[in-house]
Structure 1
Amino acid sequence: MSLANYLGIRQQEISGSKVILTLPVTENLLQPFGILHGGVNAVLAEEAASLGALARLDKAHVAVGVDISTHHFRPVSSGTLTATATPDFVGRTTQTWRVEVRMGSKLTSVSTVTLAVRERR
């Protein structure tokens, strides 16, 4: 089972120009103070960016994460998160995606994810 499946991440839209994922916030995703663990935002962002990057590549190539920066703006303790990823830069050997995570209309985190494009082995 993949980490995305284990956490409950659901794919809503996947293309080379936009990815939308949702994640119901459960007790298993909360840190001891009752709010969403910050690492969950990073996992959600990397999953969204990776799916978008892969959608832009042919079958001979893969995209692998090399850097992620996540800024947390609001605490979340329940509900469903929606992550929307869009490409900032798409090159021959790297891609950088911006991922906004929202609870309803409220921005909860923003991540920048850089991926390296490699030949599939």
Structure 2
Amino acid sequence: MELSTKSISMKEILDAPLHVIGFEISEISPQKIFGYFLVAKKCCNPFEVLHGGVSALVAESLASMGAHVASRFGRVAGVHLSIHHLKSANLGEIVYAEAKPLNVGKSIHVWEVNLWKKNSLNLGERILISSSRVTIKTNMPIPKNVKDAAVNIKKYAKL
């Protein structure tokens, strides 16, 4: 059996679940993670509206990525996610996401993650879709089999 030589994109390397939904990461730093995605059929509930679970996936993924960078590339794990779904995003709309730290401690980080879309009547205006708080445990021991996990994110982070 022959192995595939398909190249792996930056977004797939950084976060495979985000890659599946087509999420594009624009900025990675200890102070902010920013990106966007097009609401595709695979992101929708049966009513062709962004599925709340996708919003939660984006929130935890961005907060975890931010905590990983802010904790100097230590191992992290989400321990709590609270999300408020405020407005809908329809199939075909672009959703923007931004994660910022509220508290960066030695072993616990709290990140706020907001998802929004642009108002079609006033493109300068944001319409908040969801607001989340994510608590992340940081600085855990890194297992030997993933010692190089931070290598990829370091390539793209603004430190």
SS at match of 1:20: strand
CA distance in 1, matches of 2:133, 2:95: 17
CA distance in 2, matches of 1:67, 1:92: 17
Q: Of Structure 1 and Structure 2, which has the larger fraction of its residues in helix? A: 2
CA distance in 2, matches of 1:97, 1:58: 16
Partner amino acid for 1:119? Answer: P
Structure with bigger RCO (C-alpha 8 Å, 6+ apart): 1
TM-score by length of 1: 0.94
Q: Match for 1:70 among 67, 72, 83? A: 83
Which digits, 9 at most, give the CA deviation of each residue in 1:49-78, with x for residues without a partner?
A: 11111111234x211111101100101113
Q: Which residue of 2 aligns with 1:116?
A: 137
Paired residues in the alignment total 120
Larger Rg: 2
**Gap runs ≥5 in structure 2:** 1-11, 119-125, 144-159
Question: What aligned pairs does 1:40-59 form with structure 2 within 5 A after superposition?
Answer: 40-59=54-73
Q: Which residue of 1 aligns with 2:93?
A: 79
Q: Which residue of 1 aligns with 2:103?
A: 89
> Once the 2 structures are TM-superposed, how far is the Cα of residue 85 of structure 1 from its aligned partner?
0.7
Query: Where do 4+ consecutive residues of structure 1 move more than 2 Å?
Result: none
TM-score by length of 2: 0.72
Q: Which residue of 2 aligns with 1:101?
A: 115
